[in-house]
Chains A and B, each alone.
Chain A
Amino acid sequence: MKVAVIVFPGSNCDRDMHHVLTDVFHLQSQLVWHTDALPKNIDAIVLPGGFSYGDRLRAGVIAAHSPVIKDVKKMAEKGMPVLGVCNGFQILVESGLLPGALLKNTSLNFMCKWTEIIVKNNKTPFTNKFKLEQRIPIAIANGEGRYYADEQTLKSLKKNNQIVFTYAEEVNGASLGIAGICNKQGNVVGMMPHPERSAEQIINPKNAKPASLIFESLLNTLGVTA
C-alpha cells in the first residue's frame, strides 16, 4: 500500500507526514515533487502543511495551479482517498476540490497551540475508526485557518454530511466552528489541525490515541490490518 505525499515549493510538514506514515503506521510513503507525475501504483494522496510559495497572493492559491494538481483531481474523481492538512487543505480549497475559503484568523495572528476537535462524520477514509462526537486532542498552527463559506454552501455541507471535524472551543472564528470538511463523495478530506503532529504520545501533551485513529482509519480503508 503506497501513499504519495506531495511536496510543493515551501511545503514544510512533508517530512513530518512521511515520518508518521512510514515509521509510525508502516505505510509505504513517497515524497512526490509537485512537477513530477504521480506514481502509478499509489493508493492514497496527502497534501502536507507548510507555506507553499511563501503564502504569496493567498495561502495555497499558487500551488493549486501546480502540474500535479491535475493528477490529484483525476484520482480524487476515481474515489482515491485524498487528505489535505493545513496548507494542504488551503490548496484543496483553492483548487476547487473542496468548497469554501480559508481566511485570516480573527486574532489576525499566526497561532500555534493545542486544542480539541470533535468528529462529525465517521464515514470518510480518514475517520472510519472514530465514534461520532469523539474528541481529538490535536495541534493547530496557522495564520489563515478560519474556514468560511456562504450560507448556501454551509447548508449544503450540513445536508451532505460534509462537515468532518469541528473545534470543541472557539479558536479562530471559523463558520460553524469548522476544522475539517470533505467533498460530497467523502473521499477528499481537508483539515486545518495537524494529525501528524498529534499521533505520537511523546509529542502530544494530552492523549495521542484519538489522533492516531486518523491514520488507522486510512489503514482500515486500504485494507491493511494493523
Chain B
Amino acid sequence: MSLTPQESEYLEKNIGRKPNPLEFQIVAAEWSEHCSYKSSKKHLRILPKGGKRVISGPGYDSGVLDVGDGYVVTVHIESHNHPSAVEPYGGAATGVGGVIRDILSAGTRPIAIFDGLRFGNIEKDNHARWLFKNAVRGIADYGNCLGIPTIGGEIEFDECFTNYALVDVAAIGFGKKENLIRNRAEKGDYVVLIGGSTGRDGIGGSQFASDKLEAENRSAVQIPDPFIEKLVIEVILEARNQKCIKAMKDLGGGGLSCAISETADAMGVGIELDLSLVHKREQNMSPSELMVSESQERMLVITDIKKLATLKKICEKFRVPYSVIGRVHTDKMMEVKLNKKTVAKLPSQIVANAPLLDRPSSKPKYLKSIEQVKKPTTPKDLSKTLLEMLSNPNIASKHWVFGQYDHEVGIRTVVKPGGDGSALRLDNGKFLAAKIDGNSKHCYINPREGVIGCFDEACRNIVCTGATPIGMVDHLQFGNPEDPEIFWTFTESVQAITDYAKYFDIPCVGGKVSLYNETDSGPIKPTPLIGVLGLIDKKPLIPKKIENDDVAILVGITKDELGGSEYYEYIHGLIGGKCPVVDMKNSKKTQDAILDVIKRDIVKVAHDCSKGGLGVAISKLCITNEIGCTVSIEKIPSEKLRLDELLFSETHSRFLLVIPPKDEKKVMTLLSKKGISHGMIGKFSGSDISFQEKGKTVTSVRVDKAQEKWLNSLEGLVTHG
C-alpha cells in the first residue's frame, strides 16, 4: 500500500497537514490505478459519450440507454484478472458479482451476463487448463444461482496469457426510466450498509490489481456468496419500488474507502460513518482493514428518516444483514469514526480524485517489422488443415462452456448463445442484441487496426441478429503503463475506438481500464475488449434450419490479411503478417445493406465471417445444420489470393448469408443495387464440405468428421486432458 513521493506531497499540500496512517491507507486504496484511473483518465476523455439514447447522471456505475416506451437498458463491464489468475473459481465468481451490483446501483434489474475469458495454451499447459475449468465453474455457479442468464461471450487462448488469466464480465440491466436512482442526498440522510458482512477477504485488492502479478496473494482475493447477492438484488429492487433509495453505490475495489469518498464527491456532500457500527464477520478488525476490505455482496444505500424503517423491514424480510453506519452532512468531508471518536477526516473531493499522470509513450519497436514477414508455404493437404483449424481450441465449439451456464432463465433469450450475437426480448416488444469481442493476436500486430476490427466484429455480430448498434462499452487491458511502449498501445487503442465510435455514431456508455496485466514472463498482448448493444424494433433474425439447395452468399471482399490469423498462428506458429484493416466507409455501407436484407424476412442465417476465415465460417454452418456445401472458389469476391489464403484470411466486413433458392435473385439484385461486393459462392446439400476450382474439388471434408472435431476438441481437452 503506497503513494509515490509526489502523491504524498500533493496530498499533504491539499489537506494542509500530514495524513495519519489510516488516512494514508484510505487514500492509497482510492488512488490505486484500479480505482483512480490515474494513468488513463486524461486519454479516455476523447471517447464520444453522448447520444440521443444516452442518459447520464451523477455517480452512475453503469451506462444507461433509453430504449423507448419509458424503459432503459443499463450496461457495464469489469474484469477480475489478478484474482482469477490466483484463485480462478473465486476470482471469476466475484467478478460476476461485482458487475451485477454496478447494474443494480442504477436501480435496474440485471437480465444478462457476458463473459470474455483468456488463458494460456490449454493444449500444452495443465495450469492454463486448471484456470480455465475453474473460472468457467466460478461464473456458472455464481450466475446460475442468481438466476441471471449468461448469454454469450468469447474465449481466447494464447501463450501470452501463460500463468495468467483475463476474466471479463459484462452485464446488462433493464428497468423503467422512472425507477432510475437519482443519486441525491440531503443533510441528515442515513447511510446504510446492506448485504454481506465485512471480513478480512479482499484486503487491498485494488492495489494488488495495480501491480504486476508476482506473488500469489490469496488474502487479496474475495470470497463469493451468490445466495447473499441474490437476496441483496431482491432487497434493493423492492426498496427501489418502495422509493427507499435516494442514492446508492456498490462496494467494489477499494471497499468503503472508495464507496464513501466517491458517493460523497459525486453528490457534493459530506459523509460521516462509524466503523464500530459495520456488521462484521471477524473480530478485532482494524479501522484500516474495515476501510479497504473488499468483502463482496455489499451495497451502500442512502435513505431519509421517513423511509429508514421501511428499508430495515425489507432487509429483515429477506434476512439480509444491514447496518446504519452514518449520516450525510453538508461539509463535503468524509469523516471516519470508531466508537464515536474521529479517526480520519478528509475532503472527499481530494480522496476521490487522484492527481492524474502524464505517462510517456513511444511506439513499440517490434511494430516496425512485424507486418513484413515471409509468407508460409501452403500445406499439401488443405483438407487436413481445415480439420486442424476446426479442432483449434480458439475455434472449436464452446458448448462445454455455455452449456454450464443457465442461458434461458428470465425467459428473454430469443437468439441463443453459440452463434453470433445473442438477443433478448424486452418488455416493450423490442429486442436487445449484445456481443463482446476481442482479439489479442490482431491487436498485438497492429494495435489500431486490431481494436477497430474487434469493434467492427462486435457490430457485425449484432447486425446478424437484425439489430442496429446503439451503444458500446470498452474494456482496455494492457501490461504495465509505466513502460512507454505499452502505454503507447493503450493510447493508440483509445484513439482507434474513438474514431470508429464517432464514424458509426455509437456512444461509449461505459468501460474499464485494467493495467499491470503481466507476470514474470512478461506483459500480455494488448487486449482491448469491445461490447456492443443493439436494438431490434420488430423482429430478430432467429437462425433457421439450413436445407437442401439453400444458397450461400458471401458479402465483402476477401483480402491478403492473414497477420494474427488463427491459420498463421495455430497452423504455422507464425506471429506476424498483415493485420486485417477495416474500411469504415465500406463497412458501414455493408452493415446497413445486411440489415436491409434481413428486414425483408428472406434470410435464413446471417453469419459473421471472422476467426478462421471463410473456411471455418462455412464449416460451422454445415456442422450445426448437419448438411454439406459445395463452394466454387472462383465466385469468392477477392484479391488475387492462394487457396489457403482464400480459406483462412480474416478480412473484416464480410458476412455469409444463407438464402432459400427462390429468394437468391432478390438478394443478389438488392446487394448489386447498393454497390456491395458479393458472390453466390455455393449451395448446401450432401454430406461434404467441399471447395471446388473450375468444377474440380480442391479441398473436401465430411460433415460428420468435421463435426466430431469441432464439437469434441475443447470438451475433450478439459474432461480428459
Contacts and interface: CB of A to CB of B under 8 A. Distances in A.
A200 interface: yes
B409 A141 contact: yes
Given A10-B227, A51-B230, A111 B404 contact: yes
B414 interface: yes
A79 interface: no
A115 to B, nearest CB: 12
Given A16-B410, A112-B404, A202-B414, A53 B147 contact: no
Contact of A200 (B144, B407, B411): B411
A54 interface: yes
B145 interface: yes
A112 B403 contact: yes
Contacts of B146: 12
B409 A51 contact: no
Interface in B373-426: 402-414, 416, 425
Interface in B349-380: none
A110 B319 contact: no
Max chain A C-beta neighbours (<10 A), residue from B141, B409, B410, B413: B409
Contacts of A197: 408-409, 411
A40 interface: no
Interface in A179-220: 194, 196-197, 200, 202-203, 205
B408 A141 contact: yes
Interface in A117-149: 139, 141, 143
B403 A54 contact: no
Nearest to A196: B411
B145 A111 contact: no
Contact of A51 (B147, B318, B413, B416): B147
A139 B404 CA distance: 13
Interface residues of A, number: 30
B231 interface: yes
B407 A112 contact: yes
A159 interface: no
B317 interface: yes
B481 interface: no
B145 A51 contact: yes
Nearest to B225: A54
B230 A54 contact: yes
Contact of B408 (A51, A110, A112): A112
Contacts of A13: 147, 409
A81 interface: no
A78 interface: no
B405 A203 contact: no
B231 A16 contact: no
Contact of B406 (A20, A33, A110, A203): A110
Interface string A43-65: 00000011101111000000000
A19 interface: yes
A60 to B, nearest CB: 14
Contact of A12 (B230, B414, B416): B230
B426 to A, nearest CB: 12
Interface string B219-231: 0000001110011
A201 to B, nearest CB: 10
A19 B427 CA distance: 11
Contacts of A111: 403-404
A9 interface: yes
Given A51-B147, A203-B413, A9 B407 contact: no
A211 B226 CA distance: 31
Nearest to A15: B410
B414 A110 contact: no
A10 B230 contact: yes
A94 B240 CA distance: 34
A113 interface: yes
Given A9-B231, A202-B425, A203-B411, A54 B404 contact: no
B314 to A, nearest CB: 12
A156 interface: no
A196 B410 CA distance: 10
A109 interface: yes
B91 to A, nearest CB: 19
A12 B109 CA distance: 13
B404 A55 contact: no
A143 B405 CA distance: 10
B403 A50 contact: no
A156 B85 CA distance: 52
Contacts of A10: 145, 227, 230-231
B615 to A, nearest CB: 27
A9 to B, nearest CB: 6
Interface in B134-149: 140-141, 144-147
B40 to A, nearest CB: 37
Contacts of B231: 9-10
A55 B144 CA distance: 11
Contacts of A203: 408, 411-414, 425
Interface in A89-126: 109-113
A16 B410 CA distance: 6
Contacts of A200: 411
Contacts of B402: 112
A141 B406 contact: yes
A20 B408 CA distance: 14
Contacts of A205: 416, 542
B408 A50 contact: no
B405 to A, nearest CB: 6
A16 B145 contact: no
B411 A54 contact: no
A113 B318 CA distance: 31
Interface in B266-317: 317
A6 to B, nearest CB: 15
Interface of A: 9-10, 12-13, 16, 19-20, 33, 49-51, 53-56, 109-113, 139, 141, 143, 194, 196-197, 200, 202-203, 205
Given A12-B409, A109-B403, A112-B403, 14 more contacts: A9-B230, A9-B318, A10-B230, A10-B231, A12-B146, A51-B145, A53-B227, A54-B145, A110-B141, A112-B406, A112-B407, A141-B408, A203-B411, A203-B425
Interface of B: 140-141, 144-147, 225-227, 230-231, 317-319, 402-414, 416, 425, 542
13 contacts: A9-B230, A9-B231, A9-B318, A10-B227, A10-B231, A12-B145, A12-B146, A20-B411, A51-B144, A51-B226, A110-B140, A143-B144, A203-B413
In the complex, the 6 A-B pairs of residues with the closest C-beta atoms, listed nearest first = A12-B147, A54-B227, A51-B145, A141-B406, A16-B411, A112-B406
